Amino acid sequence: MTLEYDLFWSFRSPYSYLVTPRLIELERDYDVHCNVRPVYPIAVRLDGFFKQVNPMWPPYLLKDTARIAEMLGLPYAWPFPDPIVMNFKTGDVPKEQPYIRRLTRLGVAAAEAGKGLSFIREMSGVIFGGVRNWNEGDHLKDAAARAGLDLAELDALIEKDPDHYEGVIAANEAAQKQAGHWGVPLMVFADEPFFGQDRVDHLVWRLEKHGLKRRGA
């Protein structure tokens, strides 16, 4: 029997980007399926989030994510433009968020098309992989195509019924909270949360306790 787990994931999270290749390998090598459940970043969900964080946290995050990317051999740079529109001096995050709302809805559409994991890998690889102006030209179109999807078709589906995609995102965020954590990446298996890109080994260990098998075994 194929085991399944939920992945709560954000297009603005560098740690989400960093964990995705390992989850791709996990599904490639083992009889397990990842249910991709995109959520909005906490900075969008929680008003004033960046006005409350410890000022030492952002510089550490930049150092830590660059270190992890180097260790994993992944290209990495902070996105330009940032997927979240915000004032970095004041911490203000406006309600109008053209980049992150489109990306998150696209993630839902890709998941519903059965291509969620490959889509977030390709998209995050463009956003965090050092491509400047990732939102322009054919960068996103080509990333979607590498995942086996047509970007224009996904955008058309979303434009036809945006409330559906917002509803799925809201349901994902509620399920994330119900699972016992607020952050991303968050893997949840059998109601047990595994938070962070450094918890994949713990997830695999738990999956093995439930009979995880290598493909072809």
The CA distance from 80 to 129, in Å, is 10
Q: Are 112 and 149 in contact (CB under 8 A)?
A: no
Q: Are 141 and 135 in contact (CB under 8 A)?
A: no
**Which residues, in sequence order, are CB contacts of 39 under 8 Å at separation 6+?**
8, 9, 10, 45, 104, 169, 172, 173, 176, 184
Q: Are 166 and 154 in contact (CB under 8 A)?
A: no
Is 16 noted as a catalytic residue in this protein? no
Catalytic residue among 10, 13, 118, 124: 13
Q: In what order do the strands lie in the sheet with 32-38?
A: 32-38, 3-9, 186-189, 192-195
Catalytically active residues, by annotation: 13
